[in-house]
A and B are shown apart, each in its own frame.
Chain A
Amino acid sequence: MTLTMITIALYLTLVLLIGVFSNRLFKGTGEDYFLASRSIGPFVLLMSLFGTHMTAFSLLGASGEAYTKGIGVFGLMASASALVVPLVFFFFGTRLWSIGKNQKYVTQVQFFRDRWESDILGLLLFLVIVGLMIPYLLIGVMGGGITLTNMTEGAVPPWVGGLVVCVVIFTYINLGGMRGTAWVNTFQTLVFMVLGAITFFIIVQQHGGLSNAMRLISESGHGDLLIRGEKIKPLQMLTYIFIPLSVGMFPHIFMHWLSAKSVETFRYPILFYPLCIAIVWVPSVLMGIMGVIDFDPQTTAGNAVLVKMVAKHAPDMIGGLLAAGVFAAIMSSLDSQTLAVGTMFTQDIVKKYGFRQKEISEKQQVLFGRIFVLAILTLTFVLAQFSARSIFKLAIWSFSGFAALIPVAVAALYWKRSTKAGAIAAIITVAVSWIYFFMQGWETPGYTLGGSGVMPVTAMFFLSTTAMIFVSLLTAPPSKETIEKFFKS
């Protein structure tokens, strides 16, 4: 246990050192703090986008789901993301980057507000996005707690892990803003990719090789984990593909897009994203199904199975390294999310409504950004102490809400005739339908529409698309100036 703790402490110290180093390039301006002066290159953009998108759930949640549902989890979540996410970067990311640079946007609310000339739309979108981010933020803090508790076999209570994550993140965001976050994310993404692979090879070796592990799974009476069978319905597979569309509306992904140096920077993330997905999810899912060889799904919770396997099969040092890898996955998402929400409060509320008489200074922007980051982390930490839902469920509901907002982004970028009333109607439809389905499915694990396998996000997506189209066609189009501003070729 001591070795595990030392490894984690060393890892966190390295992360902080990167934050300190990034501070040396900090220019003290708002654009530098929030967007690293739009200077991020292709490799760091790939790593920071990937690290930001992969949360604790891609390690703990994915292995936990595979432990109970089998190999189908990979097709459901990983290969679906491998197809959808790069396409979102290609069709949305590049265009939003171009508009964002041209119009000096920092947040997505600024873009949507200007696109449809509506402050009300901006405020509404702000509320919906922040509301959907809350469960997503909780995933990170809760994941930190679970990891440290399991790694130390209960010696360290969950709140300590959550607190450590919050303190470390606050320190390096405070020091380096977006640049610090992107650099640390790059380091952390490499860490969880490499350590995931090392852990996988050790555990496979302990089971006498991959083929032998598969044989042991069959012999343990869990052969159904090697097929999709009844555990995953074909309609679920078909409609789950809507979920990764959520990246197109995540505020933290939007900010990472805007931090890119040029449009060419996007080539790396588009090309290599599917391969990065495979590198992280293949070990996660295979280790998850191998969990049934050592543990009983009736008595060992899914979220804890990976950590317990490491504790059983790997030496202390590897245990510590895996814990560091899980921390890396958690923090590389939580930092960007916190920075994004902090930026939204600074830019969309304080800058827009708080300083009507005079322009907010660069120094004040950075100060507010830091205050909001601290406030958000504190609030998330407190809320995490009272939340008991599984990490995975929280993620799915949050992702579904963001994915259902995609028709708003499509209309903003590709449909000149779309109107603010259409966009407002679509956002309200998402909010209402999300609450409805959440109430319906809250108590039902693996909830789908009428038990058919159709994910609720499908209905939410089509309802918001319908609202967007019909209300837009019934209302007056935006002004010519606005159309020219956003569709000038």
Chain B
Amino acid sequence: MKDTTIRWILYAVLFLLFVLHNDLWLWNDATIIMGMPIGFLYHVLYCFAVSGAMYLLLKNAWPVDLASKDQEQK
């Protein structure tokens, strides 16, 4: 797959994460899972999911132009 295609897929993933941040379906749900309200646990797990997305972003969309510019200067 082309770099640009991967990049756009990753941007779509980021947008999806933005949408998923608004968990209206758990708004009034007081179920307790692992000692925490489900609406709270969802957002804790969300932080881990974001970190995973950042890993993919770093791996596939890192601004190589800046890195090579830095190397040139060195």
Contact = CB atoms under 8 A, between A and B. Distances in A.
Main secondary structure of the interface of A (DSSP, over half): helix
A274 B48 contact: yes
A234 B24 CA distance: 7
B67 A74 contact: no
A157 interface: no
A424 B50 CA distance: 35
B1 interface: no
Contacts of A264: 67
Interface string A240-266: 010000000000000000000011100
Given A237-B21, A263-B63, A83 B55 contact: no
A213 B66 CA distance: 50
B34 to A, nearest CB: 8
Interface residues of A, number: 49
Interface of A: 71-72, 74-75, 78-80, 82-83, 86-87, 90, 94-95, 97-98, 101-102, 209-211, 213-214, 218, 223, 226-229, 234, 237-238, 241, 262-264, 267, 270-275, 277-278, 282, 285-286, 489
A218 B23 CA distance: 22
A83 B43 contact: no
Interface in B1-37: 14, 17-18, 21-24, 27-30, 32, 34-37
Contacts of B24: 234
Q: Which 4 A-B pairs have CB atoms at the shortest separation, nearest pair first? A: A210-B35, A71-B40, A278-B47, A79-B43
Contacts of A90: 54, 57-58
Interface of B: 14, 17-18, 21-24, 27-30, 32, 34-37, 39-40, 42-44, 46-48, 50-51, 54-55, 57-58, 62-63, 65-67, 69-70, 73
A82 B52 CA distance: 12
B19 to A, nearest CB: 10
Given A79-B46, A286-B36, A489-B65, A223 B18 contact: no
